């Protein structure tokens, strides 16, 4: 949910994106550990959501890198 809010705003920072990426990675790890307790359909839906979250976090990271390159004064 937090990731969805950040991706809808243009105010997220590089550090926020990194935190989101780490959280998504952690969720993926936890999902893999719990896969035996879930039905195949539930697991595949959850795995798809994690893949989507990875994709969107990478998009946000590229957006932030692009902003830094286009607006280097933000670095100071």
pLDDT band at 25 (very low <50, low <70, confident <90, very high): very high
Residue with tokens 């830094």: 68
List pLDDT tens digits, range 35-76. 889 999 999 999 999 999 989 888 887 877 776 666 655 444
pTM of the predicted model, to two decimals? Answer: 0.65
pLDDT band at 33 (very low <50, low <70, confident <90, very high): very high
- DSSP-derived 3-state class of residue 10: coil
Chain centroid, CA 68 distance in Å: 19
- DSSP-derived 3-state class of residue 61: helix
The whole-number pLDDT of residue 4 equals: 47
The whole-number pLDDT of residue 68 equals: 63
The per-residue DSSP string of 13-51 comes to -HHHHHHHHHHHHHHHHHHHHTGGGS-HHHHHHHHHHHH
Helix axes 14-33, 40-70, angle to 10 degrees: 160
């Amino acid at each position: 949910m937090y990731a969805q809010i950040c991706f809808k705003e243009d105010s997220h920072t590089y550090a926020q994106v990194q935190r989101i990426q780490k959280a998504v990675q952690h969720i993926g790890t936890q999902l893999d550990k719990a896969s035996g307790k879930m039905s195949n359909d539930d697991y595949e839906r959850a795995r798809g959501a994690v893949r989507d979250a990875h994709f969107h976090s990478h998009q946000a990271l590229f957006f932030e890198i692009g902003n830094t390159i286009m607006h280097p004064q933000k670095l100071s």
